[in-house]
């Protein structure tokens, strides 16, 4: 063993080259798996590199290639239970592709914060990002970064989202099948694609077969506006349909407080099938959307885009399914 460069510094490609008795270029070629070098040399270089504990300097190669192998993951909130589930999947899949992931909490859907998040990502060298966007407006500031949008189609960008409309339909059909007639509807902000679709799927199917006695549009944060609470307590429906599980959770809370029993006095349905919806405390009948799959598909789409910037825009729609539980 001739040249152990065990001085403090972490070894560079130059050290490896010297130790292996070849040029830097050869080492580079080997380590990038371009099959440009003869098998013998290849093996030798690899061995030496391993022996020295060499690993390529990210900053240098990023500087040279313009690629950082880092993607961003912009979520409206990490405190809600559903986004972390997506973020986790994104991170794992990205890792498989050799990308690291920046998770950023954009602070619940203010367009300014979302634009800011994108800026921060770009500034920190992210190659692209996956985002759950709260506002359609953000589209106008066409970002400097390749973006894959989750939960809604957005023209000019790749997207992955669940079949919200189909989910709404499922809810309505299930309710009808159960013999409900008078229902209340807590729909999400209709400026959001997903909320709109869910609502329309439900309403269209319900038409003529369910009476929507009241409907209140609520923000997707975990507290109900006055109007919604009032409606809940009127007790003039046998079923309350919520735009998502988080809202359903708040509804269950409110009902509990008012000592209205579920499902004896009134039934409740949600949408998402978030992690806790299955627990006895909630036990929520809901529509399951494949959260992990959303994240994984988004990552795949993004790396495809990075490799081929001019590929045609893709939109993936994932199927949903009804999960029957005790709240109905």
Partner DNA sequence: AGGGTCGATTTACACGTTTAAACAGAATCA
Partner DNA sequence: TGATTCTGTTTAAACGTGTAAATCGACCCT
Which residues bind to DNA, rule: CB under 7 A? 9, 12-14, 21-26, 28-29, 31-32, 34, 36-38, 40-41, 54-57, 60-61, 63-65
What, of a second copy, DNA, none, does residue 8 touch, CB below 5 to 8 Å by kind?
none
Measured from the CB atom, the residue of 150 and 175 that comes closer to a second copy is 150
Q: Closest by alpha carbon to 282, among 249, 233, 241?
A: 249
Binding mask 110-139 for a second copy (x = CB under 8 A): ----------xx-xxx--------------
Distances (CA, A) of 121 to 104, 114, 187: 9, 11, 33
Contact range with a second copy by CB under 8 A, out of 30-38, 77-85, 147-155, 179-187: 77-85
Measured from the CB atom, the residue of 37 and 276 that comes closer to a second copy is 276
Q: How far is the CB of 163 from a second copy (least distance, A)?
A: 24
Q: Is 60 in the site for a second copy (CB under 8 A)?
A: yes
On the 0-12 / 13-18 / 19+ scale of CB atoms within 10 A, 139 is middle
**What is the chain's length?**
328
Tell me whether strands 158-162 and 182-188 are parallel, antiparallel or unpaired: unpaired
Q: Is 285 in the site for a second copy (CB under 8 A)?
A: no
Measured from the CB atom, the residue of 36 and 261 that comes closer to DNA is 36
Figure out which of the listed residues 15, 45, 74, 91 binds a second copy, where binding follows CB under 8 A.
91
Q: Is 108 in the site for a second copy (CB under 8 A)?
A: no
Contact range with a second copy by CB under 8 A, out of 11-19, 231-239, 248-256, 292-300: 248-256
What, of DNA, a second copy, none, does residue 191 touch, CB below 5 to 8 Å by kind?
none
At 38, list the tokens. Answer: 């003869």
Chain CA centroid to CA 294, Å: 6
Q: Closest by alpha carbon to 182, among 215, 222, 149?
A: 215
Figure out which of the listed residues 3, 43, 59, 112 binds a second copy, where binding follows CB under 8 A.
59
SS3 100: strand
What letters, b where the CB count within 10 A reaches 16 and e where it falls short, cover 146-169?
bbbbbbbebeebbbbbbbbbbbbb
Q: How far is the CB of 67 from a second copy (least distance, A)?
A: 9
What, of DNA, a second copy, none, does residue 22 touch, CB below 5 to 8 Å by kind?
DNA
Q: Closest by alpha carbon to 86, among 295, 274, 296, 290?
A: 295
What, of a second copy, DNA, none, does residue 49 touch, CB below 5 to 8 Å by kind?
none
Measured from the CB atom, the residue of 20 and 121 that comes closer to a second copy is 121
Taking the alpha carbons at both ends of the chain, their separation in whole angstroms is: 73
SS (H, E, C) 108-170: CCCHHHHHHHHHHHHHCCCCEEEEECCCHHHHCCCCCCCEEEECCCECCEEEEEECHHHHHHH
State how far the Cα of 76 lies from the Cα of 199, in Å rounded to an integer: 21
Q: Is 227 in the site for a second copy (CB under 8 A)?
A: no
Q: Closest by alpha carbon to 215, among 188, 191, 197, 235?
A: 188
CB of 148 within 8 A of CB of 302? yes
Q: Is 189 in the site for a second copy (CB under 8 A)?
A: no
Figure out which of the listed residues 280, 307, 308, 309 binds a second copy, where binding follows CB under 8 A.
280
Interacting residues toward a second copy by CB under 8 A: 55, 57-60, 62-63, 68-70, 78-79, 81, 84-85, 87-88, 91, 95, 100-105, 120-121, 123-125, 222, 249-250, 252-254, 256-257, 275-276, 279-282
């Amino acid at each position: 063993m001739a040249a152990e460069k065990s001085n403090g510094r972490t070894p560079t490609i130059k050290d490896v080259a010297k130790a292996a008795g070849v040029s830097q270029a050869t080492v580079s070629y080997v380590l990038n798996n371009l099959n440009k070098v003869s098998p013998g040399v290849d093996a030798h270089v690899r061995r030496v590199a391993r022996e020295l504990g060499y690993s390529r300097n990210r900053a240098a190669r990023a500087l040279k290639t313009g690629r950082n192998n880092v993607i961003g993951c912009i979520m409206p909130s990490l405190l809600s239970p559903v986004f972390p589930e997506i973020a986790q999947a994104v991170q794992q899949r990205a890792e498989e592709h050799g990308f690291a992931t920046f998770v950023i909490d954009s602070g619940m859907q203010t367009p300014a914060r979302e634009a800011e998040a994108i800026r921060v990502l770009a500034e920190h060298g992210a190659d692209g990002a996956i985002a759950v966007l709260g506002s359609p407006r953000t589209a106008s500031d066409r970002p400097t970064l390749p973006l894959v949008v989750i939960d809604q189609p957005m023209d000019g960008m790749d997207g992955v989202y669940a079949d919200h409309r189909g989910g709404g339909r499922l809810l309505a059909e299930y309710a009808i099948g159960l013999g409900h007639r008078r229902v209340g509807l807590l729909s999400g902000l209709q400026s959001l694609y997903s909320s709109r679709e869910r609502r329309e799927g439900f309403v269209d199917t319900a038409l003529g077969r369910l009476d929507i006695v009241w409907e209140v549009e609520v923000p997707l944060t975990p507290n109900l506006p006055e109007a919604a609470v009032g409606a809940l307590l009127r007790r003039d429906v046998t079923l309350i349909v919520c735009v998502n599980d988080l809202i359903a959770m708040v509804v269950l809370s409110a009902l509990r407080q008012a000592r209205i029993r579920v499902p004896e006095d009134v039934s409740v349905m949600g949408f998402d099938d978030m992690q806790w919806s299955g627990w006895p405390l909630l036990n929520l009948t809901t529509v399951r959307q494949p959260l992990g799959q959303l994240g994984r598909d988004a990552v795949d789409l993004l790396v495809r885009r990075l490799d081929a910037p001019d590929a045609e825009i893709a939109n993936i729609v994932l199927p949903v399914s009804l999960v029957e539980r005790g709240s109905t």
